Amino acid sequence: MNEIGEVRSVDEIEADYPSQWILVGNPVTNDELQILKGVVLWHSADRDEVYRKAVELRPTRSAIINTREIPRGTVVIL
């Protein structure tokens, strides 16, 4: 597993932090705003903990990735 603070691809991040919510700093995105890579600032299985850490750290640019499996039949609203 890589250290927090390294720039990593989203595939590496997802592989290292399964079933987690991940705060990513300085995300690099494509034209469709899909995250390609970034710096892991914090991670937790608890979504609220990650949101609290984002408020505490106040990163200039950030994104949150969820690697938890979404249960079948769940409706996601963005």
Residue type, 36: L
pTM of the model: 0.84
Sign, CA dihedral 41-6-16-78, equals positive
Residue 60 structure tokens: 């200039």
Distance (Å) of CA 75 to CA 16, 38, 52, 71, 78: 26, 27, 25, 9, 10
pLDDT of residue 72: 87
| Residue range 8-19: mean pLDDT, rounded | 95
Q: What is the pLDDT of residue 75?
A: 84
